[in-house]
Amino acid sequence: MGDKLHNIVRALWIYLVCWHQVLSFDVTKSGQTYVQAGSQTTLTCQWTPPAGLVLLRVKWRQGSTVIVTAIIPSYTPLYHDTSIKDRVALGTLTSTSTSTSITLTGLQCPGDIAEYSCEVLTTSIVDDIGTASFNVSLFDFLGYNITITSSPSQIQADQNAFLTCTASNIGRPPGVMKWYKADQEITTGFTQQTNINSDGCTYNGVSILSITPTSLDDGVMFNCAVEPNSTVIGDSSKQGRYTLDVRYPVPEVPTVTSSTGTWTVDQGATFTLNF
């Protein structure tokens, strides 16, 4: 009898091993994936469990790295030793849960920019698995530090000169730098270069405008504006201003000489000669 029971158990074990399958089911996802650096977001996966099955395990990954796991029966979160360990929280789970969520706080740029994914495993004789992924990207607002300098420092009328606009933080993604003369946008004659800052997140920008001013441009205001390159509510353009100080030769003051004396006439004044 003992040998017969042993053979039955062994046959059943072989059957389960040979015919064990892992089936997939659909998982839907929700959550904000375009997030400001330093803020937080909650990512949620939802599913309809196959009939008669219970939740066995949930895993969340950042890229290919598992950041948190919860397993039957207690579903106590196990936070793995990762850079985000102290900034991730797994929502409560039970055997009948139909959703799982994580909240990521203090999102760091660029380290937390990644694909996050959930893996849901339900089980009885046949395992069922469902997955979903989120591409989390971070943005940052523009800074206020915009300066404009001229080269040469003393601008001469009718001679070529350059205005250089330097912005230490043009946000993420990098903003667009524009030039204005008074209120009129300048569409040609300038360049823009962008580089990533030492924080690995935001960008800086330099734009150089070529000008050939005349004496009429003395005192004219030039603006360098940085426009945000995102659709996020709350970000706004920033600008710096520069007033031209154009050096130009002053015409010689005319003099009038007659038999009665010599007069100096101010430029623009009216002078009457009587004969």
Instruction: Inform me whether the pLDDT recorded for 4 exceeds 80.
Output: no
Q: Residue 202: what pLDDT?
A: 95
- Residue 136: strand pairing partners: 114
Whether residue 8 is predicted with pLDDT greater than 60 in this model: the reply is no
pLDDT at 15: 35
Decide: 153 and 209 in contact? Cβ < 8 Å: no
Report pLDDT for 12. Answer: 37
Does residue 6 or residue 239 have the better pLDDT? 239
* Cβ–Cβ under 8 Å, residues 95 and 82: no
pLDDT > 50? residue 151: yes
Q: Is the pTM of this model over 0.85?
A: no
Q: What per-residue confidence (pLDDT) applies to 273?
A: 63
Measured CA to CA in angstroms, residue 74 lies from 23, 64, 201, 240 at distances of: 24, 25, 39, 59
Q: Is the pLDDT of residue 20 over 50?
A: no
Q: At residue 18, does pLDDT exceed 60?
A: no
Span 205-229, pLDDT tens digits: 999 999 999 999 999 999 999 999 8
Q: What Å distances lie between residue 142 and 112, 173, 202, CA to CA?
A: 20, 10, 9
DSSP state of 49: P
For the chain, domains (ranges, CATH) are 21-139 (2.60.40.10), 146-247 (2.60.40.10)
CA-CA distances (angstroms) from residue 154 to 10, 47, 206, 215?
Answer: 95, 69, 21, 13
Task: Give pLDDT tens digits for 227-267.
Answer: 998 878 888 899 999 999 999 887 665 665 665 666 565 66
Could you tell me if 161 and 214 are in contact, meaning their C-beta atoms sit under 8 angstroms apart? Answer: no
Confidence bin at 50 (pLDDT 50/70/90): low
Q: Are 88 and 68 in contact (CB under 8 A)?
A: yes
What pLDDT is stored for residue 222 in this prediction?
98
Helix (H) or strand (E) holding 13: helix 2-19
Q: Which of the pair, 52 or 163, is modelled with greater confidence? A: 163
Residue 23 has pLDDT above 90, yes or no: no
What local confidence, expressed as pLDDT, does residue 244 receive?
96
Cβ distance 140 to 230 under 8 Å?
A: no
Sign of the torsion formed by the C-alpha atoms of 146, 147, 148 and 150: negative
pLDDT of residue 1: 52
Which amino acid is located at 251 in the chain? P
Mean pLDDT of 96-116: 96
Mean confidence (pLDDT) of the chain: 86
Residue 30 has what pLDDT? 95
d(CA 86, CA 68) in angstroms, rounded, equals 11
Taking a C-beta distance cutoff of 8 angstroms, is the pair 25, 130 a contact?
Answer: yes
Strands 34-36 vs 127-139: parallel, antiparallel or unpaired: parallel
